[in-house]
């Protein structure tokens, strides 16, 4: 398929860069923690503060390396557990049809292995794919999607998710979701620690940097880090939906099936409150049903392009 090889190569490059950005960001957060926690004052040896900062930077870089490795090797298992996905049951007719459709689309797109078929027990209409490569991937759909879409519509959605596997989007988005979640979790923990310790306001010159300028910079960095990480995650996800839609049509040769499925998905009001916001970019529709506005600012923070635009693109094919 035209342009797919360059897209796959770009995804590999972006995944590597994303991991490097995460390591640098964690090193910066380690410095921020050191700047906040290290003792300060005229009677404090500067090398002590510097040493504490370097130890924390090294510690957070090690944590970043471990987290990066885990996200690369186990993102599919981690994400499946986070959204309560379970293996599809071949003894249930509609789930057996889901499994058979996945296997049939593998032949259509020439994947080297069959992705695992998973189901999420939810009335919402949604689906996602994840994994590090086609040999270690899974496609998950909700029970609501299985029950409310007809066969052509369901095939279109599954083909869309299989396209993310074929296009190698899954590694980039899976790694991004896990790493962004890690940054957010750390920052949330540290902000709570600052709250319970009084934000440094009650500490003397031997107990921490208190309200010094470095502490202020550190606090700002800790507050902005998860926002930056989430924005990076959102920017990575939007254009891939259009390419996955187009690839799905090449696999099924039926733009009407996916178009009607997107209309039903758009019209559904069922949400998935148990899905963390860091994972929202993985799904075919936002789990909390948040819609992108038409302004550039709203679209900047949107995980998905407007479904109306996607349907219009499908109808033009």
Measured CA to CA in angstroms, residue 118 lies from 55, 85, 237 at distances of 42, 6, 22
Q: Considering only 78-92, 182-196, 278-292, which range has the smallest mean pLDDT?
A: 182-196
* 191-247 pLDDT, tens digit each: 776 667 655 444 444 444 444 566 676 677 777 777 777 676 666 666 788 888 988
Distances (CA, A) of 275 to 139, 278, 281: 16, 8, 11
**Domain 85-169+235-315: what homologous superfamily?**
Metalloproteases ("zincins"), catalytic domain (3.30.2010.10)
In 3D space, the residue among 66, 34, 38, 165 whose CA is nearest the CA of residue 110 turns out to be 165
pLDDT at 274 over 50: yes
Choose the weakest-confidence range: 20-29, 46-55, 144-153, 303-312.
46-55
Write the Ramachandran bin of 131: left for phi over 0, alpha for psi from -120 to 50, otherwise beta: left
Segment 163-169 mean pLDDT: 88
Better pLDDT: 128 or 12: 128
The pTM score is: 0.78
What percent helix, strand, coil does the chain show, rounded to 5? 70, 5, 25
- Taking the C-alpha atoms of residue 46 and residue 40, their distance in angstroms, rounded to an integer, is 8
Task: Please say whether the beta carbons of 53 and 91 come within 8 A.
Answer: no
Q: 256 an active-site residue? A: no
Q: In this predicted structure, what is the pLDDT of residue 168?
A: 83
Percent of the chain with pLDDT over 70: 78
Residue 47 has pLDDT above 80, yes or no: no
Neighbours of 43 (CB within 10 A): 8
- From residue 255, how far is each of 155, 311, 312 by CA, in Å? 11, 9, 11
Query: Phi and psi of 87, rounded to 5°?
Result: -60, 140
The whole-angstrom distance between residue 42's C-alpha and the CA centroid of its chain comes to: 45
- Burial annotation 121-141 (CB, 10 A radius, 16+ → b, else e): ebebbbbbbbbbebebbbbbb
pLDDT at 175: 77
- What is the rounded distance in angstroms from the CA atom of residue 63 to the CA atom of residue 22? 11
Q: Give the distance, in angstroms, between the CA of residue 168 and the centroid of all CA atoms in the same chain.
A: 14
Residue 74: C-alpha distances to residues 1, 19, 202 (Å) = 29, 15, 43
Answer for the pair 2, 28: CB distance below 8 angstroms, yes or no: no
- Mean per-residue pLDDT of the chain: 80
Of residues 73 and 180, more confidence is placed in 73
Q: pLDDT-derived band of residue 64, with 50, 70 and 90 as boundaries?
A: confident
Q: pLDDT tens for residues 4-43?
A: 667 667 777 777 787 888 888 888 888 877 777 766 555 5
Report how far residue 28's alpha carbon sits from residue 304's, in angstroms, rounded to the nearest whole number. Answer: 29
Q: Which of 95, 153, 161, 278 is catalytic?
A: 161
């Amino acid at each position: 398929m035209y342009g797919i090889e360059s897209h796959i190569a770009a995804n590999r490059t972006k995944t590597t860069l994303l991991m490097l950005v995460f390591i640098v960001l964690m090193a910066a957060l380690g410095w921020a923690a050191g700047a906040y926690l290290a003792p300060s004052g005229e009677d404090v040896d500067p090398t002590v503060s510097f040493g504490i900062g370097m130890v924390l930077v090294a510690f957070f870089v090690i944590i970043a390396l471990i987290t990066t490795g885990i996200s690369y090797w186990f993102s599919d298992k981690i994400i499946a557990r986070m959204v309560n996905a379970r293996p599809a049951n071949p003894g249930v007719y509609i789930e057996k049809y889901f499994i058979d459709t996945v296997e049939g689309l593998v032949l259509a797109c020439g994947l080297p292995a069959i992705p695992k078929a998973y189901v999420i027990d939810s009335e919402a209409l949604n689906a996602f794919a994840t994994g590090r490569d086609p040999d270690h991937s899974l496609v998950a759909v909700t029970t609501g999607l299985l029950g409310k879409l007809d066969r052509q519509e369901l095939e279109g959605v599954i083909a869309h998710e299989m396209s993310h596997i074929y296009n190698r989007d899954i590694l980039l988005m899976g790694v991004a979701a896990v790493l962004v979640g890690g940054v957010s979790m750390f920052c949330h923990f540290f902000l709570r620690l600052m709250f319970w310790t009084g934000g440094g306001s009650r500490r003397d010159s031997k107990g921490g940097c208190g309200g010094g300028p470095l502490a202020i910079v550190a606090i700002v960095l800790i507050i902005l880090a998860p926002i930056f990480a989430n924005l990076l995650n959102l920017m990575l996800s939007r254009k891939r939906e259009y390419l996955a839609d187009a690839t799905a049509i090449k696999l099924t040769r039926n733009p009407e099936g996916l178009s009607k499925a997107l209309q039903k998905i758009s019209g559904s009001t069922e949400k998935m409150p148990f899905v963390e916001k860091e994972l929202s970019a993985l799904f075919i529709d936002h789990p909390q049903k948040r819609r992108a506005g038409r302004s550039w600012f709203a679209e900047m923070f949107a995980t998905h392009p407007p479904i109306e635009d996607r349907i219009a693109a499908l109808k033009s094919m």
